[in-house]
Amino acid sequence: MSKLVRFGVSLEEDLLMKFDSLIRRQKYTNRSEALRDLIRNELVKKEWMENKEVTGVITIVYDHHVRELINKMLDIQHDYYSHILSNQHIHIDHHNCFEIIVTKGKSKEIEDLYRKLKSIKSVKHAGFMMATQGKDLV
Ligand code: NI
């Protein structure tokens, strides 16, 4: 682990109050840890912008009675089989399915996979979360 360095930050009182209120709601016990996480989030965004090797999660909600949708979704996922680490299917109710796809690979390719799945006709909702392989984070 690298050396801990202290530094001073100057900012408007109102902004600091808003920051403290925000991090309190997020259950941080101190500003340092909240600031570390903000920095790490920006570094993860940078990895994604620079098309690095990353991880990410895609979620999809759809009605499984729409057969064409399922075939399309499977075709697309098989095109990206090397980027998909796992796939969990949850039956929400009689009609609706919730799928969680854990991905790993170049960020642009994972984004392409997400866009292809999201744009399938009749998908009710598609969600996306950027993550990292953690190699470049402290
Ligand atoms: Ni289902």
CATH dotted code for 53-131: 3.30.70.1150
106 Cα: distance to centroid of ligand 1 (angstroms): 29
137 CA distance to ligand 1 centroid (A)? 37
Average pLDDT of the segment spanning 34-53? 96
Q: What is the pLDDT of residue 136?
A: 83
Check residue 67 and give its pLDDT. 84
Q: In angstroms, what is the span from residue 121 Cα to ligand 1's centroid?
A: 17
Q: Is a pLDDT exceeding 80 seen at residue 87? A: yes
Ligand 1 centre and the CA of 116: distance in Å? 20
**pLDDT above 90 (res 92):** yes
In the block, which residue shows the tokens 């903000």?
A: 38
CATH class belonging to 13-49: mainly alpha
All structural domains of the chain with their residue ranges: 13-49, 53-131
CB-side neighbour CA atoms (13 Å) of 103: 28
Q: What is the pTM of this model?
A: 0.88
* Average confidence (pLDDT) over 20-31: 95
CA–centroid distance, residue 91 to ligand 1 (Å): 4
Ranges assigned E (strand) in 1-138: 53-63, 84-91, 96-106, 123-131
Question: Residue 13: pLDDT above 90?
Answer: yes
- 130 phi/psi in degrees, rounded to 5: -75, 135
Compute, in angstroms, the gap from residue 80 CA to the centroid of ligand 1.
Answer: 21
Q: What pLDDT does 100 receive?
A: 98
- CA 125–ligand 1 middle distance (angstroms): 14
CA of 64 to the centre of ligand 1 (A): 6
Helices (H), the chain: 13-25, 31-49, 67-79, 107-118
For residue 1, is pLDDT > 90?
Answer: no
Compare 1 and 47 and report the one with higher pLDDT: 47
Return the bridge partners of 58, or none. Answer: 101, 128
What is the residue-averaged pLDDT of the chain? 95
From ligand 1's centre to the CA of 60, what distance in Å? 11
| Distance from residue 67's CA to the centre of ligand 1 (Å) | 12
More confident residue, 2 or 77: 77
